[in-house]
Chains A and B, each alone.
Chain A
Amino acid sequence: MADMTTSNDLLEQETHAPMLNRVIAAEPLAVRQVLIELADRLRPALEPEELAHLELALAEILNNIVEHAYVGTDQGLIHLSVVCSEKVLSCAVADDGASLPAECLAPRALPGAGDGDVKTMALPEGGFGWVLIQGLCQDLCYYRENDRNFLAFAMPLHLHASHKDTPQDVPKAPRKHRR
């Protein structure tokens, strides 16, 4: 009986492990599908805001690969890995498309908007993607090797956890999301 319980627990752990590894076609509906799957998988492990931030950051990164790295080709694959530990979520994305322009990772400002004095017709319809990625992702790093792009980032978890034991000496919210 005890053995049975143990194996069931292990199975449970495998099925609901807070990680996801997928290779998807570089097209918008495949991106949408993997984000839905990722959210379903990680929902039990993350706070709603953390999940929302991850989903948004990955949407921007994956759609950027679809629209820019693989521009002009209808074939392409994206490799996505996400792993959650107790305190941090780690994510890696790889593709075989064009290299990422350096300016994408350079510090960016929001496209002209938000000062309340912008004429409607001048409002930006794009340029938000990398601002969001940079604001939501910590330790964002990129390198290219053998014609393959690698992008990795982390997200600190449970910064606002009230239901967890929080040691007194833990620094308060070491990094805030950009607003």
Chain B
Amino acid sequence: MRLIAEPRDDYMLLQLNEDRLDAAIAIQFKDAARGLIGAHPGDVVLDLRQVGFLDSSGLGAIVAVMKMVPAPRVFSLSGVTDNVERVLRLTRMDSVIPVRNIEPDSAETISDEQAAQPRRA
């Protein structure tokens, strides 16, 4: 399970370097994220650009990780692929998990819809 933490200016980037976030790695992912988030007090962005498949176990793990970043800290996803977006939509979790797209070179793009999400000052 390859999860890499990369501190940025105002958030921590968690990069999940796995092709699939599924039942086979959901628990390891959750445990690894807990360790990394515990060492960082600020916002967290989970980058899923490499993840081409998500199942309900993986989704449950994402929600569990989101809960490790309680308000006013902000948890968001980045690099949501088509298949991941589909699962978020089918389960309606797309309406509760913010997306904040982080480019690999740190340049950010935030869509109108997502700009309404709370951000740290």
Task: Report A's interface with B, CB cutoff 8 A.
Answer: 28-29, 31-32, 35, 48-49, 52, 55-56, 59-60, 63, 66-67, 110, 113-116, 118, 120-121, 123-126, 128-129, 131-132, 135-136, 177-179
What B residues does A123 contact at CB under 8 A?
63, 66-67, 93, 96
Extra contacts, 9 of them, besides A118-B96, A128-B56 (Cβ < 8 A), are: A31-B22, A59-B22, A59-B55, A114-B95, A114-B96, A116-B95, A123-B67, A125-B64, A132-B90
Q: Which A residues are in CB contact (< 8 Å) with B120?
A: none
Report whether A110 and B20 are in contact in the complex, using a CB–CB cutoff of 8 Å.
Answer: no
CA distance A38 to B53 in the complex (A): 14
Interface residue B109 (Cβ < 8 Å from any Cβ of A)? no
Number of A-B residue pairs, CB cutoff 8 Å, is: 89
CA distance A73 to B86 in the complex (A): 33
Q: Which of B55, B64, B91 has the most CB of A within 10 A?
A: B55
B residues with a Cβ closer than 8 A to A are 20, 22-24, 53, 55-57, 59-61, 63-64, 66-67, 70-71, 82-83, 86-87, 89-93, 95-96
Counting chain B CB atoms within 10 Å of each CB, which of A55, A121, A128 scores highest?
Answer: A128
Which residue of chain B has the shortest Cβ distance to A128 in the bound complex? B56
Shortest distance between the CB of A125 and any CB in chain B (Å): 4
Contact A28 B96 (CB under 8 A): no
Q: In the assembly, what is the distance between CA of A129 and CA of B90, in Å?
A: 11
B24 touches A32 (CB 8 A): yes
Inter-subunit contact B23/A128 (CB<8 Å): no
Q: A120-B70, A123-B66, A126-B60 known; A63 and B55 CB under 8 Å?
A: yes
B23 adjacent to A120 (CB under 8 Å): no
Instruction: List the A side residues contacting B63 at CB < 8 Å.
Output: 123-125
By a CB distance below 8 angstroms, the chain B residues around A29 are 24
Residues of A with C-beta under 8 A to B20: 32
Q: Given the known inter-chain contacts A110-B91, A114-B92, please indicate yes or no for A128 contacting B59, CB distance below 8 A.
A: yes
| A55 with B90, Cβ < 8 A, contacts A32-B20, A66-B23, A113-B96 known | no
CB-based contact A114/B71 at 8 Å: no
A62 to chain B, nearest CB (A): 9
Q: Is the CB of B59 within 8 A of A28?
A: no
Name the residue among A63, A110, A121, A178 with the largest chain B CB count within 10 angstroms: A63
